[in-house]
Amino acid sequence: MEAEEFDEIRLAVRRFVREQVVPREPEIEESDEIPEAIRKAAADMGLFGFALPEEYGGLGLSMEQEARLVFELGYTTPAFRSLFGTNNGIAGHVLMLSASDEQKAEFLPKVASGEWTASFALTETDAGSDPAGLKTAAVREGDGWVITGSKRYITNAPVADVFMVFARTDPDASPSKGISCFLVPATTPGVSVGPKDKKMGQAGAWTADVYFDDVRVPANALIGGEGLGYATAMACLAHGRLHIAALCMGTTQRLVDEMVAFATERVQGGKPIAEHQLIQALIADSQTDLMAGRSLVLEAARAYDSGEDTKLGPACAKYFASEAVGRVADRAVQVHGGAGYMHGIAVERFYRDVRLFRIYEGTSQIQQLVIARATLKRVSAVGR
Ligand SMILES: Cc1cc2nc3c(=O)[nH]c(=O)nc-3n(C[C@H](O)[C@H](O)[C@H](O)COP(=O)(O)OP(=O)(O)OC[C@H]3O[C@@H](n4cnc5c(N)ncnc54)[C@H](O)[C@@H]3O)c2cc1C
């Protein structure tokens, strides 16, 4: 998208987030739900498909533009971004990266417009950090497939219209080579969704288990070739990691703003606490994390756009940004003193909300492994 047009969209989203969503955060927290008016406005602004190609109704943003837009989305409750996060991210990217032209034409416009909410169903009870160990199976029957198994912690499952389901199609192949991906509408007989999970934070964003009990799907439900599901999942997760890293930096900006606002108002020892140097140290360390994280996300996004690096940068950005927002949330609570420990104060809510970022789309430990392996490979390939 042209820079000027993109900037208009980014500024409109910024205004919407700050004027329409931020004031409703307490209500979202209390009701565990995003108001329908906000959902509709998000769809009208094209937010269900900003990372999807224009020819299928998306906004067609580059990774760098996406990161800049997500900085704005991260300024409010992560539940807002989660509404359309799976459509743009892990689920929508399955179609974008691996579907045939016919499948893209049939399915992507519904995902990009928000007519469908799409979920990404990879994780299982015994397959989290190591998804290659998944047990959900898809067996050929006639022209189609029969899927049996279950998935855990699936974002947007309670409202999903369609699932991207990763299932084992070749039990004899090596664990990662025997997995394929299927598009399964939520209304298919045999698909059922468990109760909403009770989470630590991110109220208004829903996850649940999903069950597949002899679910029959046609041949064109297979997305990408047989045995290519694991590679598709990894490619979608690499994009998702940059997206989450940008989100973390949006929230870091909010936390810095909250801590500065509180520190300038709160008076102790006869002066605003912002004048105490140890409070200034907390603010300085947080601003430094913010600037370092934003720079890393943008640099990694540019390398992703050019095709120079689609793996190491996303893992470094996700690792640094998710750990940084955790540090900053902790400092923001500290700056607020006792108030920071009380429900109803934004930083208390964000402190719980941001804990998830170090866990999903690859834990920090998994990012460390990806980073170390890629670095070792690069250094041994090119030498010192
Ligand atoms: C709110 C939420 C939303 C989610 N949304 C989705 C979704 O939409 N779709 C989806 O498919 N999944 C989703 N997930 C699942 C998420 O991706 C997994 O929870 C995550 O990958 C970790 O897997 P696990 O929970 O099984 O933990 P485990 O893999 O059991 O990890 C437990 C601990 O062991 C560590 N560990 C594991 N393996 C290694 C290793 N090799 N080396 C070092 N340490 C290791 C981990 O870092 C972690 O600290 C979601 C999870 C949550 C909580």
**CA-closest candidate to residue 42, choices 116, 113, 119, 118:** 113
The long-range contacts involving 280-287, CB below 8 angstroms and separated by at least 24 positions, are: 282/331, 282/334, 282/335, 283/256, 283/259, 283/331, 283/335, 285/327, 285/331, 286/252, 286/255, 286/256, 286/259, 286/327, 286/328, 286/331, 286/332, 287/256
Helix (H) or strand (E) holding 303: helix 277-306
**CA-closest candidate to residue 157, choices 103, 212, 109:** 212
Kindly give, in sequence order, each residue whose CB lies less than 8 Å from that of residue 10, ignoring residues fewer than 6 positions away: 65, 68, 69, 72
| Cα(125) to centroid(ligand 1), Å | 10
Q: Judge whether 8 counts as a catalytic residue.
A: no
**Residue type for position 365:** Q
- Which residues face 183 on adjacent strands? 164
Asked whether 356 lines ligand 1 (CB < 6 A), one says yes
Do residues 224 and 98 lie in contact, with contact meaning Cβ atoms separated by under 8 Å? yes
Asked whether 153 lines ligand 1 (CB < 6 A), one says yes
Do residues 357 and 82 lie in contact, with contact meaning Cβ atoms separated by under 8 Å? no
| Cα(55) to centroid(ligand 1), Å | 34
pTM (2 d.p.):
0.97
pLDDT recorded at residue 1: 81
Asked whether 117 lines ligand 1 (CB < 6 A), one says no
Q: Which atom of ligand 1 is nearest to the CA of 125?
A: 26
384 residues of the chain, pLDDT tens digit each: 889 999 999 999 999 999 999 999 999 999 999 999 999 999 999 899 888 999 999 999 999 999 999 999 999 999 999 999 999 888 999 999 999 999 999 999 999 999 999 999 999 999 999 999 999 999 999 999 999 999 999 999 999 999 999 999 999 999 999 999 999 999 999 999 999 999 999 999 999 999 999 999 999 999 999 999 999 999 999 999 999 999 999 999 999 999 999 999 999 999 999 999 999 999 999 999 999 999 999 999 999 999 999 999 999 999 999 999 999 999 999 999 999 999 999 999 999 999 999 999 999 999 999 999 999 998 888 776
| Cα(129) to centroid(ligand 1), Å | 5
Report the length, in residues, of the chain: 384
DSSP states of 162-216? EEEEEEES-TTS-TTTTEEEEEEETTSTTEEE-PPP--SS-TT--EEEEEEEEEE
Instruction: Give the whole-angstrom CA distance, residue 141 versus residue 219.
Output: 10
